[in-house]
């Protein structure tokens, strides 16, 4: 399985997701600012993966901070990483987890070298746990897919979007490992083409059958009766089960419901934001409109075109058949079922 991100003595190494599939190249971030730039520039992307990157960013930042100014630098490191992308709550979750560990070490009187070492170990644990969590999501999700199902997915919620294995694609992997010959239909996911570039590439590495669709083919396919289920990831899930995910997910969810196709969201508990009552409160990232008017660096709209680029949308809970987590599957009413799973996870 492809390595999305790795802690090495030379820095935080990431596969460059802006260059796939044409080039399989790796970027080494030598300080926390480079980690922040990599998150903002989408060298690394996908909610759980940017949570891991943020944790490693904090660890490398503290490793290099002045010993006599540690608290102030820790604050600056966390603020810089938190300002990269607003929607995926896993980013903030990763930073908070590192902050808590730092504060515990500080109040226990640990020396600076021990703090540095322990934060590097904590970041590594965030990565290792993420892979284990995804395997758990996979097992719960695989049970929902019928034999030989053709599964539609949107964006990339695979190994590349996580520490490894994937959430939505983890469900596919677990189904296949369990002997179910499922096949994937991947929406290309304009404008960044996570589906065409990343999902197809990643599935091909594992010889998992995948068929590419442009986004505007989704309705036709869902109506055709060929698709047994939709499985997507999430960037943030509000307390009522509204789901923020890659732009275009909402349209797929509505089309799925209209055509009687179950629409599943696969995500770790760290993607839940129970502090938000509904999806209306989820901040939606606005990215550079040039990513819409240009495709892979090539201008496709007339120069001077006005474009918009909301990078995520919110799918209201009524379109979500179930939310698959590492602690089990939540169904409506989500206010209760999500809370129960969150309690299970903190126990
Ligand atoms: O802008 P991106 O590529 O970071 O958006 C990623 C998505 O929307 C994914 O579907 C989501 O983060 C879940 S990844 C397991």
pLDDT in tens, 157-172: 999 999 999 999 999 9
Q: What is the pLDDT of residue 338?
A: 98
Q: Among 277, 283, 338, which residue's Cα sits nearest to residue 313?
A: 283
Q: What is the pLDDT of residue 347?
A: 82
Distance 245 CA to ligand 1 centre (A): 6
Phi, psi angles (nearest 5°) of residue 273: -125, 85
Give strand pairing partners of 7. Answer: 12
Distance 247 CA to ligand 1 centre (A): 9
pTM equals 0.97
- Catalytic site positions: 235
Average pLDDT over residues 240-260: 98
Q: What is the pLDDT of residue 35?
A: 98
Q: What is the pLDDT of residue 1?
A: 73
pLDDT band at residue 91 using 50, 70 and 90 as cut-offs: very high
Contact status, residue 60 vs residue 12, Cβ threshold 8 Å = yes
Q: Give the 3-state secondary structure of residue 231.
A: strand
Give percent above pLDDT 90 in the chain.
98
> Using the 8-state DSSP alphabet, how is residue 304 labeled?
T
Say if residue 38's pLDDT is above 80: yes
Which of 188, 234, 292 is the pocket-test mutation for ligand 1 (most atoms within 8 Å of CB)? Answer: 234
Average pLDDT over residues 253-261: 98
For ligand 1, atom 10, which residue shows the shortest CA distance?
233
Domains annotated for the chain, with CATH where assigned, are 5-135 (1.20.120.420), 144-346 (3.40.50.10470)
Ligand 1 cavity residues, CB under 6 Å: 45-48, 88, 155, 157, 161-162, 167, 194, 233-235, 245-246, 311
- Give 3-state DSSP helix, strand, coil % of the chain, rounded to 5: 45, 15, 35
Which of 18, 90, 154, 155 is the pocket-test mutation for ligand 1 (most atoms within 8 Å of CB)? Answer: 155
**In the chain, what's the furthest Cα-to-Cα distance?**
65
Distance between CA atoms of 227 and 222, rounded to whole angstroms? 6
**Helix or strand (DSSP H, E) at 232:** strand 229-232
Distance 11 CA to ligand 1 centre (A): 24
Distance between CA atoms of 308 and 291, rounded to whole angstroms? 9
pLDDT band at residue 302 using 50, 70 and 90 as cut-offs: very high
Distance between CA atoms of 139 and 176, rounded to whole angstroms? 11
Distance 161 CA to ligand 1 centre (A): 6
Distance between CA atoms of 28 and 11, rounded to whole angstroms? 6
């Amino acid at each position: 399985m492809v390595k999305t991100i790795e802690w090495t003595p030379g820095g935080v190494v990431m596969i460059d997701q802006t260059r796939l599939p044409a080039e399989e190249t790796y970027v080494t971030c030598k300080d926390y600012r480079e980690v922040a730039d990599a998150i903002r520039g989408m060298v690394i992307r996908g909610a759980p993966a940017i949570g891991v990157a943020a944790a490693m960013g904090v660890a490398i930042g503290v490793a290099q901070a002045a010993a006599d100014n540690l608290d102030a630098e820790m604050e600056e490191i966390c603020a810089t990483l938190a300002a990269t992308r607003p929607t995926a709550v896993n980013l903030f979750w990763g930073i908070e987890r590192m902050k808590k560990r730092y504060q515990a070490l500080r109040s226990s009187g640990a020396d600076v070298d021990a703090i540095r070492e322990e934060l590097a170990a904590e970041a590594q644990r965030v990565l290792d746990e993420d892979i284990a969590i995804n395997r758990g999501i996979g097992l719960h999700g695989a049970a929902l897919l019928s034999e030989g199902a053709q599964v539609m997915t949107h964006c990339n919620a695979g190994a590349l979007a996580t520490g490894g294995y994937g959430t939505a694609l983890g469900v596919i992997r677990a189904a296949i490992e369990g002997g179910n010959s499922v096949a994937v239909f991947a929406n290309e996911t304009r404008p960044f083409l996570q589906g065409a570039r990343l999902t197809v590439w990643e599935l091909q590495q594992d010889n998992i059958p995948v068929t590419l669709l442009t986004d505007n083919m989704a309705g036709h396919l869902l109506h055709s009766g060929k698709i047994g289920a939709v499985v997507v990831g999430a960037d943030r899930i509000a307390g009522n089960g509204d789901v923020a995910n890659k732009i275009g997910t909402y349209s797929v969810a509505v089309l799925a419901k209209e055509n009687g196709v179950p629409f599943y969201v696969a995500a770790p508990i760290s993607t839940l934001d129970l502090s938000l009552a509904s999806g209306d409160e989820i901040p939606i990232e606005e990215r550079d409109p040039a990513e819409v008017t240009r495709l892979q660096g090539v201008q496709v709209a007339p120069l001077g075109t006005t474009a918009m680029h909301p990078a995520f949308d919110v799918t209201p809970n009524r379109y979500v058949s179930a939310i698959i987590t590492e602690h089990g599957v939540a169904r409506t009413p989500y206010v209760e079922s999500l809370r129960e799973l969150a309690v299970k996870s903190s126990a």
